[in-house]
Amino acid sequence: MSLLADKIKSLIRDVPDFPKPGILFKDITPLLAHPDVRAEMARTIAQRFKSESVEAVVAIEARGFILGSLIAHEMAVPFVPVRKSGKLPYATFKQSYDLEYGAAAVEIHADALHHHKRVLVHDDLLATGGTAQAAGQLVQTAGGTVCGFSFIINLAFLPGEQQLKKSFAVSPFSLVSYP
């Protein structure tokens, strides 16, 4: 494991039975209190996708916004939010999905990717892949191409990684993985 992965894992807090019994929530809040680690995570992800000619970073509400905007800044490309249904103030595209403990829908502004076709999708955690897949489908609906997915955490014992590989023909990148 890399030094960065060790730092990240040492700062992630496990919260049992959140948001419902049986779920072990990986809380990144303690990680966010360390600006040096945040900056290193953003640089590492930006460097990993440098060769992909990324034109925009799409990040998923809410925790994905935190590092997603830093990655976009590091890459000097636009940041595009994917938000929960009903939260964006302009014309949107909407995508429903299932997640590991329920169902939801996300939206993107209809004009968000008119000039930015190659898109990196970022979120804090990859579990079943439902949220990331929905965001990737929104990118496609908005006229973009998903050139990568990035995550702080991959729960590799769940099917998210395989689902994204199958749906988008790209291998998701994560800074840490829990087998």
Which residues are the active-site residues? 63, 100
Q: Taking the CA atoms of the chain, what radius of gyration do you get in angstroms?
A: 15
Residues 6+ apart with CB under 8 A from 2: none
